[in-house]
Structure 1
Amino acid sequence: MTAMSTLLIVHHTPSPTMQAMLEAVLAGARDDAIEGVDVVVRPALAASAVDVLAADGYLLGTPANIGYMSGALKHFFDQIYYPCLDATVGRPYGLYVHGNSDTTGAVRGVEGITTGLKWKRLCEPLTVIGEADTTAREACRELGATAAASLMPE
């Protein structure tokens, strides 16, 4: 039996647009072509250091709120930062952000924290301004698939 890898998706999904993005990310991460990867989904306010330590890679989803990541995602990082600091060095992560007008501050905030954790960015952060149209949802699906596929056992 092959060992399973775990992709932890931590999200704050307060709006229909964030819900559409999360569903697309999940569809990609759970694609039938990806084998040997368990996808675990946690709302940011429920995710714990135990979840982070048990995972091999991460996908983070947040709205851009008042120029920053959501308070829920910040709370997640506050809870897991020191307990996970040494144990998760080098683990891959991806990020998707939705904003009505700008996502720069939210991306910068998450990247500052993930740099401190020494996580490895899998790809450019996926940012969506306004509605999550078909192109945006397809990009979310691709992000989910890329993150999960990167964890497939050899």
Structure 2
Amino acid sequence: MPRKQLLIVAHAPSPNTRRLAEAALRGASHADIEQVDARWVPPLEAQPDDVLAADAILLGTTENLGYMSGALKDFFDRCYYPVLEQQQGLPCALYIRAGMDGTGTRRAVESIVTGLRWNWVQEPLTLRGDWQDGFEQQVEELGLYLAAGLDNGVF
């Protein structure tokens, strides 16, 4: 049985957001996950082929002026049409590191994901306000949840 591929496309411009991306990867690479390979690719480096090879995708972004990061928007701009027809139904999840409320960021990503016809595996996770160490745990659990769903054939 071929191994499943979980792609994490997460913008990490600061030490704390890097901790979040690493937490997502750590959760997705948990020892109990047997048939899933997870990898983190920064959005400015991610290519359509990365998405085409993925069995699920975890998106991570900062809230920038009430919108997703420019890096994640660039990823969508470059990958949208090349993957549109071939990756419909791709299981996906999202976390947002929001200094404010994250609503505009969530709406923007949801709009693009709807156009791609990807399937949310759970509500987007919004990490609001000042940094809290618990944010890492929440993102790690999100990575684990997505990888476990793939590993068990749920997604």
> Same fold by TM-score, threshold 0.5 exceeded?
yes
Structure 2: segments with no counterpart, 5+ residues: none
Q: Is the 8 A contact 1:10 1:42 kept in 2?
A: yes
Does the aligned pair in 2 maintain the 1:97–1:126 contact within 8 Å?
yes
- The 5 A counterparts of 1:96-107 are 96-107=95-106
In the superposition, the TM-score normalised over structure 1's length comes to 0.95
Specify which structure has the bigger relative contact order, considering alpha-carbon pairs within 8 angstroms and separated by 6 or more residues: 1
Deviation beyond 3 Å, 4+ runs, structure 1? none
What is the DSSP-based 3-state SS (H/G/I as helix, E as strand, rest coil) of the residue aligned with 2:92? Answer: strand
Note if 1:142 corresponds to 2:141: yes
Identical-pair percentage: 47
Aligned to 2:32: 33
What does residue 121 of structure 1 align with?
A: 120
Write the deviation string for residues 52-92 of structure 1: whole angstroms up to 9, x where unpaired.
00111000000000010001000000111111001001110
CA distance in structure 1 between the aligned counterparts of 2:15 and 2:3, rounded to whole angstroms: 32
RMSD of the alignment, in Å? 1.2
8 Å contact 1:49–1:79 — kept in the other structure? Answer: yes
- TM-score (ref. length: structure 2): 0.94
- 1:5 is the counterpart of 2:4: yes
Mapped to 2, the partners of 1:107 and 1:16 lie a distance apart of 22
Check conservation: 1:17, 1:131, Cα contact below 8 A: no
> Residue type of the partner of 1:141?
E
> How far apart, in 1, do the equivalents of 2:22 and 2:131 lie?
11
Contact 2:25 2:39 in 1 (8 A): no
